[in-house]
Amino acid sequence: MEKKPDNKVIKVHDRDNVAIIVQRGGLPAGTRLTNDTILKVAIPQGHKVALAEIDKGGVIVRYGEVIGTATCDIPRGGHVNETNVQLPRAPGLHDMPLATRSMPEAEPLEGYTFEGFRNPDGSVGTKNVLGITTSVQCVAGTTDYVVRRIKDELLPSYPNVDDVVALNHTYGCGVAINAPAAIVPIRTLKNISLNPNFGGEVMVIGLGCEKLQPSTLLSDQPVKIYENTEAADPDANILSLQDESFSGFEDMVNGIMAMAERHLEKLDRRRREICPASELVVGMQCGGSDAFSGVTANPAVGFATDLIVRAGGSVMFSEVTEVRDAIHLLTPRAVDEEVGQALLDQMAWYDDYLEQGQADRSANPSPGNKRGGLSNVVEKALGSIIKSGNSPIVDVIGPGERIRKRGLTFAATPASDFICGTLQLAAGMNLQVFTTGRGTPYGLSMVPVIKVATNTALSQRWHDIIDLDAGRIATGDASIEDIGWELFHLILDVASGRKLAAADRLGLHNDLVLFNPAPVT
**Where along the sequence are the contacts to Ca ion (CB under 5 A)?**
287, 415, 417
From the list 259, 263, 151, the residue with the least C-alpha distance to 199 is 263
Integer angstrom CA distances of residue 410 from 1, 352, 353, 393, 514: 41, 19, 19, 7, 19
Cα 445 to Cα 432: distance, rounded to the nearest angstrom: 11
- 216 or 321, CB closer to Ca ion? 321
Least distance (Å) between residue 515 CB and Ca ion: 13
Q: Helix H segments across 42-159?
A: 140-149
Burial of 111 from C-beta contacts in 10 A (0-12 / 13-18 / 19+)? exposed
Provide the greatest CA pair distance for the chain.
81
From the list 7, 62, 59, the residue with the least C-alpha distance to 295 is 62
Which residues sit opposite 80 in a β-bridge?
A: 48
- 81 or 366, CB closer to Ca ion? 366
Integer angstrom CA distances of residue 323 from 56, 89, 379, 425: 27, 14, 11, 20
Least distance (Å) between residue 378 CB and Ca ion: 17
- 70 or 503, CB closer to Ca ion? 503
Least distance (Å) between residue 152 CB and Ca ion: 35
Least distance (Å) between residue 389 CB and Ca ion: 18
- 31 or 436, CB closer to Ca ion? 436
Least distance (Å) between residue 317 CB and Ca ion: 11
Residue nearest to Ca ion as judged by C-beta position: 287
Least distance (Å) between residue 172 CB and Ca ion: 25
- 46 or 131, CB closer to Ca ion? 46
The number of residues in the chain equals 521
Cα 133 to Cα 176: distance, rounded to the nearest angstrom: 21
Amino acid at 94: H
Least distance (Å) between residue 251 CB and Ca ion: 43
- 199 or 287, CB closer to Ca ion? 287
Cα 38 to Cα 36: distance, rounded to the nearest angstrom: 6
From the list 3, 33, 12, the residue with the least C-alpha distance to 474 is 12
- 190 or 387, CB closer to Ca ion? 387
Residues 6+ apart with CB under 8 A from 365: 289, 374, 376, 377, 380
Cα 145 to Cα 460: distance, rounded to the nearest angstrom: 37
- 286 or 495, CB closer to Ca ion? 286
Least distance (Å) between residue 397 CB and Ca ion: 17
- 216 or 435, CB closer to Ca ion? 435
Q: Reduced to 3 DSSP states, what percent helix, strand and coil does the chain have, rounded to the nearest 5?
A: 35, 20, 45
- 19 or 415, CB closer to Ca ion? 415
Least distance (Å) between residue 88 CB and Ca ion: 22
- 8 A C-beta contact, residue 510 and residue 443: yes
Least distance (Å) between residue 137 CB and Ca ion: 24
